[in-house]
């Protein structure tokens, strides 16, 4: 499990210019972001009708969603990762 201390989550906001990832879990989405050195955040949208659940973001700019309870935005703290991003 990825260290939740490395992520700050905000409900009902989204980033701009995200790139959709073909993953099935939040942990896989977080791993995809960690693996991409340009990724600074993700948007997790588990009920997306087009199965676009995970969006990788390279900008920290965010805006409010038009519908509540749909998207959770997770900002990555890369400095935290250098300490250890796995829980045991």
Domain map (residue ranges) of the chain: 4-80
Residue 6 in this model has a pLDDT that exceeds 70:
yes
pTM: 0.87
Give 2's DSSP letter.
Answer: B
pLDDT tier for residue 3 given thresholds of 50, 70 and 90: low
Q: What's 4-80's CATH class?
A: alpha beta
Mean pLDDT across the chain, nearest whole number?
90
Per residue in 7-19, pLDDT (tens digit) is 999 999 999 999 9
Euclidean distance between CA atoms 65 and 21, whole angstroms = 20
């Amino acid at each position: 499990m990825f260290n939740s201390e490395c992520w700050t989550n905000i409900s009902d906001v989204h980033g701009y210019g995200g790139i959709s990832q073909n993953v099935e879990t939040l942990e896989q989405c977080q791993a995809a972001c960690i693996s991409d050195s340009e990724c600074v955040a993700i948007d997790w949208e588990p009920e997306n009708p087009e199965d676009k659940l995970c969006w990788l973001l390279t900008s920290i700019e965010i805006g409010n969603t038009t519908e509540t309870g749909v998207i959770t935005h997770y900002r990555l703290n890369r400095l935290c990762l250098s300490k250890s991003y796995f829980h045991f």
